[in-house]
Amino acid sequence: MSDIAAIMQTAPVIPVIVIDDVGQARPLAEALVAGGLKVLEVTLRTPAALDAIRAMKDVDGAIVGAGTVTGPETYHAAREAGSEFIVSPGLTESLAKTIARDGIPFLPGIATAGDIMRGMDMGLSHFKFFPAEAAGGRPALKALAAPFHEAKFCPTGGISEETAADWLAIDPVLCVGGSWVAPRGGTDYAAIEDAARKASLLGSGGAA
């Protein structure tokens, strides 16, 4: 997919995945996709992450991207591994320009109105609200989103199975990022598929 909006609307939850053992990457991706979560964010926090992206790319139906991309160097490594979209914890001009040149879907992290305004100056309108709970939770995002009617969001950071639906009920929220569906080191793939199926059914309609 070449459109970050389409990626964000594929499913209500994007699993935020930390992989330590590349051998777990493919069965994990298969379980998540079977459960209805096709968009997979592999965070570049471990030595196995890039190989995990390569392995997950072989799973039919998976849309695999890289998270925790912090600069052009990690971006190029993620692209070489086959990442189809890029997620960053923040927004810098150098990273945004580098990604824009390649036309890769980009979801930069924001936490303030100034972040959103800088992103819009760069032609961006879709953002990750991060760290969602630590940055003020749902009241903060509602207040931030109010002046920026064209902006859409994917809150990530501290969101759980219990709170995801409340976040998704906020009108400009297209999806949420969460680690609960794919806990680090988890190998109970039947349970992961079940969690993914429940997450894929979460609604995103209506304002809160």
Catalytic residue IDs: 41, 128
**Which DSSP string corresponds to 57-118?**
HTSTT-EEEEE---SHHHHHHHHHTT-SSEEESS--HHHHHHHHHHT--EEEEE-SHHHHHH
Cα gap 171→98, rounded to integer Å: 31
- Nearest residue to 122 via CA among 146, 101, 153, 136: 101
Cα distance between residue 181 and residue 152, in whole Å: 23
How many helices and strands, by DSSP H and E, does the chain display? 9, 8
The answer to whether 79 touches 102, Cβ cutoff 8 Å, is: yes
CA 44/CA 99 separation, integer angstroms = 17
* Helix H or strand E encompassing 164: helix 164-168
Quick one: which H or E segment has residue 141?
A: helix 137-145
Alpha-carbon Rg of the chain, whole angstroms?
16
